[in-house]
A and B are shown apart, each in its own frame.
Chain A
Amino acid sequence: MNIVVNGTNRAVESPPLTPLLHVLREELDVLSPKAGCENGGCGACTVLLDGAPRRSCLTAVGSIGGAAVTTVEGLGTPEDMSAVQRAFVHYCAAQCGFCTPGMILAATAYLERGGSTEVAAISEALAGHVCRCTGYLKIVDAVAAARDGDFDLSTTAESPHTTVLG
């Protein structure tokens, strides 16, 4: 079987019932999807299938047909990041970084399908993605701002939620 990962056609030898996550990580060495729970509960393994977010741990590789697989490696490179990736850097939306690839892919798909920039809507859209570090606020702020895409990456965004007392 062959699958297309980040625009490249890759031969797959794993049996068709193997989770796509396992194929990506263990057979193809595509390492950004993380094995956070392998049971669909955390979202760290999320990939895009023809642009739609999917839990790769729940998806049998033999069931994806010809759908193109996109991981965060395929969204952008360190030199040329996507708007959502740049927003995550500029809003300090990652701490340990383990949930970040899945978050970025889900957010990318959400914005692609015209998702609103309302906090409640973004929170709802990402509710299946667990982050233990950030408390979600900077992630939500990053997603709300990501459409603009043009961020100064030498600094990070001021927070509208913070007051500094001398």
Chain B
Amino acid sequence: MGSTAEVIQPGSPSEAASAFGDGAAVAVLAGGTLLVPDLHFGRARPERVIMLGDAGLNYVSRNNGTVSIGAATPIAALVGEATPLGPCAASIGDNEIRAQATVGGNLCAPAGFGDLQGPLLALGATARSAGAGGERSEPLEDFLAGRAGRLLLDVSYAEPAAGALAGLGRPHAHHYTVMAVSGARSRSGAVRLAVVGAGAVGSRLRAAEALAGDPDAAGVAAAGEVAPSDDPLASGWYRARTLPALVRQVLSDLEASA
């Protein structure tokens, strides 16, 4: 039972990029927490599977205030990072899932999944990827919009001056958090806010950012710039209803850390 796809185990990022090509008929297996059951049950039927385990993409490096995280880095490796990234990583799945699932898998997961999108959008992360047309770096926001056909290599961001995270939901091992808002203030003082759970992928809350000095108004503005939908964990109504509170919480935590 299961997949008999050709398995490719690249030994470097460039080998991975070349094996990936334009991404047609290829599936990428990093941790495997999403792909392995899909292969087993025939929900995914790729011709080739690239295993990233030995591709040199498991790293967290720091250079002059810039943090780079390889796509095959397990989520557990981020648990000690500063807010919002660390606490967000700590809230994903359980011990075993965090040790196996990877940053790249989380950022490239199907709609709904992808808790890490929130903090990394708030941190203004840049995504470096390979695929048709070669390697490119772009804001994570742009990458998320066009991630099909791309092989994520790493994400990097400048360490912020302050960060905050507020999420809904009991402690759980669900696929994703019902909704969470991440916030970060850069060293230049700019505040970025991002939400996951209010759309198919994480998104910046630009209208709320513009009102960062007025948390109540920012919360109301945030609810106006998303259109959350229903899923088994919560309704769109509930997400829209509670988003202002999460935005207020994040802004007030950012303020308190000033």
Binding site for B on A (CB under 8 A): 14-19, 22, 26, 38-41, 43, 46, 52-55, 57-60, 62-63, 65, 106, 110, 124-129
Determine if B2 and A18 form an interchain contact, defined as CB atoms under 8 angstroms apart: yes
Name A63's contact: one of B40, B53, B94 (CB within 8 Å). B53
B75 to chain A, nearest CB (A): 13
Determine if A128 and B37 form an interchain contact, defined as CB atoms under 8 angstroms apart: no
Give B76's nearest chain A residue, CB to CB: A52
Determine if A17 and B100 form an interchain contact, defined as CB atoms under 8 angstroms apart: no
Number of residue pairs A-B, CB distance < 8 angstroms: 91
B73 to chain A, nearest CB (A): 16
Instruction: Report the Cα distance A16→B39, complex, angstroms.
Output: 11
Answer yes or no: B51 CB below 8 A from chain A CBs: yes
Name A128's contact: one of B2, B4, B94 (CB within 8 Å). B94
Answer yes or no: B49 CB below 8 A from chain A CBs: yes
Determine if A41 and B173 form an interchain contact, defined as CB atoms under 8 angstroms apart: yes
Answer yes or no: B95 CB below 8 A from chain A CBs: yes
Task: Known A15-B3, A40-B37; judge A60-B51 contact (CB<8 A).
Answer: yes
Determine if A17 and B2 form an interchain contact, defined as CB atoms under 8 angstroms apart: yes
Determine if A46 and B96 form an interchain contact, defined as CB atoms under 8 angstroms apart: yes
- Which of B29, B36, B99 has the most chain A CB within a 10 Å cutoff? B36
Binding site for A on B (CB under 8 A): 1-5, 7, 29, 31-33, 36-37, 39-41, 49, 51, 53, 93-97, 99-100, 171-173
Determine if B173 and A127 form an interchain contact, defined as CB atoms under 8 angstroms apart: yes
Name B95's contact: one of A38, A40, A125 (CB within 8 Å). A125
Determine if A55 and B33 form an interchain contact, defined as CB atoms under 8 angstroms apart: yes
A38 to chain B, nearest CB (A): 6
Name B32's contact: one of A15, A46, A63 (CB within 8 Å). A63
Determine if B100 and A54 form an interchain contact, defined as CB atoms under 8 angstroms apart: yes
Instruction: Report the Cα distance A47→B90, complex, angstroms.
Output: 22
Instruction: Report the Cα distance A38→B1, complex, angstroms.
Output: 13
Name B5's contact: one of A17, A58, A63, A127 (CB within 8 Å). A17
A44 to chain B, nearest CB (A): 12
Determine if B100 and A55 form an interchain contact, defined as CB atoms under 8 angstroms apart: yes
